[in-house]
Amino acid sequence: MKCFYAPETESHDPLFRLTYGKLQRNAEQAERAKLLLAGLDALSLSATPPPRAPRAALEAVHTTRFLNFLETAWDEWQKLPDAGPEVVPNVFPRAATSSYPETTLARAGWHMGDTSAPIGQHSWQASLRAADCAIAATDAVLAGDDAAYALCRPAGHHTSAEIAAGHCLLNNSAIAAARLRTAHERVATLDIDVHHGNGTQDIFYDRGDVLTVSIHADPTTYYPFFTGFAGETGAGEGAGYNLNIPLTRTTTDAAWLSAIDTALARISDFKPGAIVLSLGLDTHEDDPLMGMKISWDGLRRAGEKIAAAGFPTVIVQEGGYLSPSLTTSLQSFLSGFMAAKRHALEPN
C-alpha cells in the first residue's frame, strides 16, 4: 500500500490550547508524526513525500477568502502591537447579520471556530503539505490502487469551508472526497475518529453525491459539543445522506464494531465508487483525550471490516494523540486492513 508523508508538516508544532479555563500545551504536536511513522515502519511500509498539488484542489471545498486568510494570517498578526507567537482569536462573531471583517484580529475570529487550532509561522506551509498527502493518496486510488494512506497533520475533519477548529486547518478528508468525485458519481466518507467530523459534515450537508458517516463520542459531553447528533441527517438535496452514530465515552470494542457494521451497511446501500476513511486513532483506551475505550484488537478488527467492504479506499489520518500506544494503534488498524485486502485478492 502506498503511503504519503511530508516532513515539512513537522514545522507546525502549535503551543496554545485552552482547556477548562487553563492554558495547556496543544495536543497536535509534531511528535505525533514520529509515532505514526514508527507504526508504518513496523509494517515495512515506507512513506513517500507527495508532489505539490494545485490550489484548485483546495478550492473544491474551501472558500478563497479562507485560504487567503490561512496563507497571510501569521504575517499580518505579527504587525499587531505586542503580538503573540501564534494566531489565536479572542472574539468570535455570533450575530446572524455579521459582516465579513477587514482587520486581522476580527478575521481570526471569523475563520477560527475555537482556540485549539492556533496558526504559527509555518502552519500554512505545513497545512498545504498535509493536503498534498491526501491528494497524492487520492490520486493513487484514482490511478487504480485499491487503497492508499496519507499521514496528514495537522488533521482536518473539524474544518468547514471557511472555519478552522479542533486542531484542524485544511480539511484533508473533504479535499480527498471532492477529488474522488471527479471520477466517481458517488463518494462516501467514513469518519471513525473519536470526535464528530463536523467540518466534513458541514461541507457536504446539502449534497446527495457525497454520503458522510461519522462514528464518535456523544457530543452532549464531548467536543465538538454542538454537532454530531443522530438527528442531523442532511438538508435539501443532501437529506438522508448524513449519518451520525454517537456513542458513550465508555464504549468498548463490541459496540464500536457494531456501529462500524451499521455504517458500512449504509455505505453499501449508497454504492459509492470509492470511500475516504477519516482514520482517528484517538478511540484507543490509552489516548490522552479519553473519548472511548477501544483496544488494539478492536482497531485491528475495524481495519478488517472496512477493507472487507470492498471499496477503493483513501485513508486520511485524523486524530490520535501523544501516547506510547499510538504507534501500535496505527499498526493494529493497518495490519487488519491490509490482511483483509490480501485475503480478498486470494483465489478461492
Report the share of the chain in percent with pLDDT over 90: 95
* Grid cell listed for 174: 473533504
Q: Is the pLDDT of residue 347 over 90?
A: no
Confidence bin at 217 (pLDDT 50/70/90): very high
Q: Tell me which CATH code domain 2-52+127-345 carries.
A: 3.40.800.20
Q: Is the pLDDT of residue 346 over 90?
A: no
CB-based burial label for 129 (10 Å; 0-12, 13-18, 19+)? buried
Q: Return the closest-CA partner of residue 337 out of 283, 299, 295.
A: 299
Q: What is the predicted pLDDT for the residue at 96?
A: 72
Q: What is the pLDDT of residues 173-200, one digit of tens each?
A: 999 999 999 999 999 999 999 999 999 9
Strands (E), the chain: 2-4, 18-19, 22-23, 47-48, 147-150, 187-191, 210-217, 242-247, 274-279, 313-317
Q: Return the closest-CA partner of residue 199 out of 113, 287, 282.
A: 113
Q: What is the pLDDT of residues 226-274, one digit of tens each?
A: 999 999 999 999 999 999 999 999 999 999 999 999 999 999 999 999 9
Q: What is the predicted pLDDT for the residue at 344?
A: 79
Q: What is the pLDDT of residues 5-60, one digit of tens each?
A: 999 999 999 999 999 999 999 999 999 999 999 999 999 999 999 999 999 999 99
Q: Return the closest-CA partner of residue 299 out of 266, 273, 277, 314.
A: 277
Q: Residues 158, 195, 196, 216: which is the catalytic one?
A: 158
- d(CA 173, CA 191) in angstroms, rounded, equals 9
**Amino acid in the structure at residue 177:** A
Which pTM was predicted? 0.98
How far, in Å, are 75, 79, 119, 124 from residue 72 at the CA level?
A: 6, 11, 10, 8
184 and 176 Cβ atoms separated by less than 8 Å = no
Q: Is the pLDDT of residue 309 over 70?
A: yes
Q: Is the pLDDT of residue 121 over 90?
A: yes
Looking up cell 479535499 gives 175
25 and 134 Cβ atoms separated by less than 8 Å = no
**Residue ranges covered by each domain of the chain:** 2-52+127-345
Average pLDDT of the chain, as a whole number: 97
Confidence bin at 103 (pLDDT 50/70/90): very high
Specify the long-range contacts of residues 139-144, CB closer than 8 Å, at least 24 apart. 139/179, 140/2, 141/180, 141/274, 141/312, 141/313, 141/314, 142/179, 142/180, 142/182, 142/183, 142/274
Respond yes or no: is residue 158 known to be catalytic.
yes
* Grid cell listed for 106: 476580527
Q: Is the pLDDT of residue 101 over 80?
A: yes
Higher pLDDT, 45 or 343: 45
Cα 8 versus chain centre, distance: 18
Q: What is the predicted pLDDT for the residue at 332?
A: 98
Q: Is the pLDDT of residue 135 over 70?
A: yes
Q: What is the predicted pLDDT for the residue at 348?
A: 64
